[in-house]
Amino acid sequence: MSQIIPITPTDATSSQAPEQEEVVSSGLTVSPPLSLYIHIPWCVRKCPYCDFNSHESRSEIPEAAYVDALVADLEQSVPRIWGRRVQSIFFGGGTPSLFSAESIDRILSQVRALVPLSSHAEVTLEANPGTVDAQHFRGYRDAGVNRLSLGIQSFDSHYLEKLGRIHDEHQAMAAAELALSTFDSVNFDVMYALPGQTLAHALADAERACQLGPAHLSFYHLTLEPNTPFHRTPPALPDDDTSASMQEAIEDILIGHSYQHYETSAFARPGKQCRHNQNYWLFGDYLGIGAGAHSKLSFHDRITRESRHKHPRQYLQHAAQGNAMDQQWSIPRDELPFEFMMNALRLTSGFSAELFEQRTGLALSEIEDTLQLAISKGLLSRTQISQAPNHVAGAENLSSTTIAPTALGQRFLNELLQLFLI
């Protein structure tokens, strides 16, 4: 792992800088859009399928001290993102809705004070139906949260109990309706292929979610992740054929309700795609603060990743001492194609050749053999799109190459991605 020496900013822009991408000196010619991820690591009870960095709140959460640590972490990070405008903020967890509206307000106030924040920034907070009420929701909205992501998972108490969730179907419905009446933009997280779940019950969840009409829906296939109770003692899950039938039928239901399937697990009303997650998938930059949070930051000569100290207790200690970051490393050049594809190929519409070159600093020709192999296997498509000429005298028609996963490639995404592993 190579050691990174922080760069001292030499061309800082003020917090009133125009909302545009910044030009850097060489290598990567344009800095990607920048997002901010804020990790809240505590939850009431850890679900048996969850492999996120989350910790049960068995005693009082040190909320005020953790907010102090987040602010210190951001202050320590400012030199690496100096002058760059933050386009979106995402509070993830854990269960961020365990924190008071006052704490969320203080965090966002400090963000605005320390970094340039887009006037139209998308600010998302994840919430658990079992930890919220009208007062919480109004407080989050007043603090500046303009998008709520609600962890419904199922509208059926039987399956919620199987998943170890702390809420039941009545709380799920109440929280969903409250969220929709409080926020202009709401996402529901729903899972399928649950222990013992039938096709009819999976489709009932999809229909219920569509009838409520949130701007965005995320439907995830339950997977047995390593180092989880479900992985150690697997429950009886639907077989592969039933799971595939669930996936196809759910997609049909959502499309029938005017949701656009724009990413592997994401569906949105027109214009309501999650901008924060899209920035991940388009290989944009993001700064992650909080226990165990990860970052990806681009410089003129390299693309780096960072991680914070993982355990909340260690994170609190190190952030107070001025070293919240645990590790930092550069992505090797030969790993950049896979890193890019691991994100961009989740998008059903794919990506442009120009974007690949902008975000990696590599020429598309460097992966031409792999692209051809994927196309020959029916996993990728490549389309040449003609664009209208500009109005400069003598300008020729422009064209753009779009690369996208086929329906087969979307279904066998892991197999497609493996082609790009060096």
What pLDDT, on the 0 to 100 scale, is given for residue 387?
56
On whether both 177 and 66 belong to a single domain, the answer is yes
Helices 199-212 and 169-182 sit at what angle, rounded to 10 degrees?
A: 30
**Distance (Å, rounded) from C-alpha 24 to C-alpha 298?**
10
On whether both 352 and 277 belong to a single domain, the answer is no
Whether residue 8 is contained in a domain is answered as no
Contacts of 395 (CB under 8 A, 6+ apart): 389
**How much of the chain exceeds pLDDT 90, in percent?**
85
Q: Return the DSSP state at 331.
A: P
On whether both 47 and 194 belong to a single domain, the answer is yes
**Distance (Å, rounded) from C-alpha 189 to C-alpha 216?**
9
**Distance (Å, rounded) from C-alpha 221 to C-alpha 265?**
8
On whether both 271 and 352 belong to a single domain, the answer is no
Whether 13 has a pLDDT exceeding 60, the answer reads no
Whether residue 70 is contained in a domain is answered as yes
- Among residues 253, 281, 309, the one where a domain terminates is 281
What pLDDT, on the 0 to 100 scale, is given for residue 390?
44
Whether residue 327 is contained in a domain is answered as no
What pLDDT, on the 0 to 100 scale, is given for residue 25?
36
18 pLDDT tier (thresholds 50, 70, 90): very low
Whether residue 300 is contained in a domain is answered as no
Q: What is the mean pLDDT of the chain?
A: 90
On whether both 79 and 227 belong to a single domain, the answer is yes
CATH number at residue 96: 3.20.20.70
What pLDDT, on the 0 to 100 scale, is given for residue 56?
87
β-strand partners of 307? 294, 327
Whether 19 has a pLDDT exceeding 90, the answer reads no
45 is written with which tokens?
């009870």
Domain count, the chain: 2
On whether both 81 and 226 belong to a single domain, the answer is yes
User: What is the domain range of residue 209?
Assistant: 34-281
What pLDDT, on the 0 to 100 scale, is given for residue 22?
42
- Among residues 263, 281, 299, the one where a domain terminates is 281
Whether residue 310 is contained in a domain is answered as no
Whether residue 301 is contained in a domain is answered as no
On whether both 51 and 196 belong to a single domain, the answer is yes
What pLDDT, on the 0 to 100 scale, is given for residue 27?
62
On whether both 73 and 178 belong to a single domain, the answer is yes
**Phi and psi angles of residue 406, each rounded to the nearest 5 degrees, phi first:** -75, 175
Whether residue 369 is contained in a domain is answered as yes
386 pLDDT tier (thresholds 50, 70, 90): low
On whether both 132 and 40 belong to a single domain, the answer is yes
Residues 190-245: pLDDT tens digits? Answer: 999 999 999 999 999 999 999 999 999 999 999 999 999 999 999 999 999 999 99
Look up tokens 């388009």; give the residue.
282
| Ramachandran assignment for 419, one of left (phi > 0), alpha (psi -120 to 50 degrees), beta (any other) | alpha
Of the listed ranges 69-83, 230-244, 356-370, 378-392, the one predicted with least confidence: 378-392
- Among residues 248, 281, 314, the one where a domain terminates is 281
Whether residue 340 is contained in a domain is answered as no
What pLDDT, on the 0 to 100 scale, is given for residue 28?
84
**What average pLDDT does this structure show over 78-104?**
96
On whether both 103 and 185 belong to a single domain, the answer is yes
51 is written with which tokens?
């492999």
On whether both 272 and 371 belong to a single domain, the answer is no
**Distance (Å, rounded) from C-alpha 321 to C-alpha 318?**
5
On whether both 62 and 191 belong to a single domain, the answer is yes
Whether 91 has a pLDDT exceeding 70, the answer reads yes
